[in-house]
Amino acid sequence: MITAKDLDYHNKATIDPTYAETYFLIFSVPEESISGNAYLLVRPNVGAILSSVYVHKGVCLNAWEADYADAPMHLKAPDKLSDFTLANGMSLSGSNNARDYHFRYEGREKLCSFDLNVKGIMQPFDALDPNQNPMLDKFANTEEALGAGDGWAQGHYDTIGHITGELSLYGKTYKVDCVDGLDRSWGPRLEWNASPVSWMHMTFGTDLAFHLVMTLDVSKSGVRYTTFRFGYAAVNGEVTGVVSAEVVGSNAGMLGMSRIVRIRDAKGREWEMFGAAVAAAPWHSAYGSFTSFQTLYRWTMGDRVGHSSVTDVVGITTLGKRLSKLGSESKAG
């Protein structure tokens, strides 16, 4: 179960320099085909924090087409994670038992800024709590159940919030009013590769939203969703673990263009939804060891319509083994 103390550091028992804690928020202005994110990764035992802001409009097949990227790698780590301001203009505070957040950013050269309030539509989902995550019993161990290797193995929660505020970009101000995901993790995290995994949110307003984590198979023939690892359905504020899910779709290269998602939760309820890309880009600036291929989708399910994001995270080493000229010819992949 996640509480207010999980907004702050968890590293008192370790001096491991690879130990990391993260925050990740994704937001959008769907009517303008704009998608953005704010990502923070702190290594408290080293004393440094990475702070990444990434914003793009429409479909950007190449990283250099993105509208804005700021990702200083070695800012001074804050004394606490529940309320801080960094030298690159990023501020974050959390409250209400890790349910609500306030993100503020004033970028350099006045190119980009935002002021975003995140009001949780649910209590955070603790991926390591068997009372919340029914999939922990299905797999042989926690790492396999999470599907993301060591990065989530000591602590991980996910939540969905109603995100409101303003985004300013190149002198133009946009109103932000969306429903999308936020997550936080802590534990050892090497700067080496990343198991292919998809972090998915499908939202239809504050009363109906879903989250899935799926593993991926990446090959020259394309990207295929394989094993469902965990997820939840948030219906009128009540969170129920998902017990099965299937995802199929189409891509432009590594970027998702469409998705069909089928979900069944622990109460036996079933949903099927379709997503079509509104914006997409390869987000590469937060980590040298992986690329996150993120897409903002327009979701439809019967008469319900919503907008939210999916990001397929794949290690650079995995991409090299499976897709490069030399790697794909070897047995390494």
Query: How many angstroms from the chain centroid is the CA of residue 88?
Result: 21
Categorize the per-residue pLDDT at 148 as very low, low, confident or very high, splitting at 50, 70 and 90.
low
- Asked if residue 98 lies in contact with residue 155, where contact means CB atoms within 8 angstroms, the answer is no
Q: Please report, rounded to a whole number, the percentage of residues in the chain having pLDDT higher than 70.
A: 95
Residue 143: per-residue pLDDT: 54
Categorize the per-residue pLDDT at 152 as very low, low, confident or very high, splitting at 50, 70 and 90.
low
Q: Please report, rounded to a whole number, the percentage of residues in the chain having pLDDT higher than 90.
A: 89
* pLDDT one-digit tens code per residue, 163-217: 999 999 999 999 999 999 999 999 999 889 888 999 999 999 999 999 999 999 9
* pLDDT one-digit tens code per residue, 117-140: 999 999 999 999 999 999 988 875
Any residues with CB less than 8 A from the CB of 216 and at least 6 apart, and which?
A: 196, 197, 198, 223, 224, 225, 226, 312, 314
Residue 17: per-residue pLDDT: 97
Give the SS3 label for residue 151.
Answer: helix
Residue 13: per-residue pLDDT: 87
* Count of domains for the chain: 1
In degrees, rounded to 5, the angle at the alpha carbon of residue 159 between the alpha carbons of residues 153 and 164 is 140
Categorize the per-residue pLDDT at 82 as very low, low, confident or very high, splitting at 50, 70 and 90.
very high
- Asked if residue 120 lies in contact with residue 161, where contact means CB atoms within 8 angstroms, the answer is yes
- pLDDT higher at 132 or 149: 132
Residue 138: per-residue pLDDT: 81
* pLDDT one-digit tens code per residue, 86-97: 999 999 999 999
The pair of three-digit structure tokens given for residue 300, joined into one six-digit string: 């439809």
Note the pTM of the prediction, 2 decimals: 0.95
* pLDDT one-digit tens code per residue, 18-65: 999 999 999 999 999 999 999 999 999 999 999 999 999 999 999 999
Residue 78: per-residue pLDDT: 98
Residue 311 has pLDDT above 80, yes or no: yes
Residue 302: per-residue pLDDT: 98
Residue 99: per-residue pLDDT: 98
Q: Half-sphere exposure of 203 toward its Cβ, with a 13 Å CA cutoff?
A: 29
Structural domain of residue 8, as residue ranges?
Answer: 4-329
DSSP letters, 28-96, are EEGGGTEEEEEEEEEETTTTEEEEEEEEEESB-SSGGG-SEEE--S-EEPPS-SSEEE-TTSEEEEEET
CATH code at position 175? 2.40.370.10
Can you tell me the mean pLDDT for 275-304? 96
The average confidence (pLDDT) of the chain is 94
Q: What is the largest CA-CA distance in the chain?
A: 52
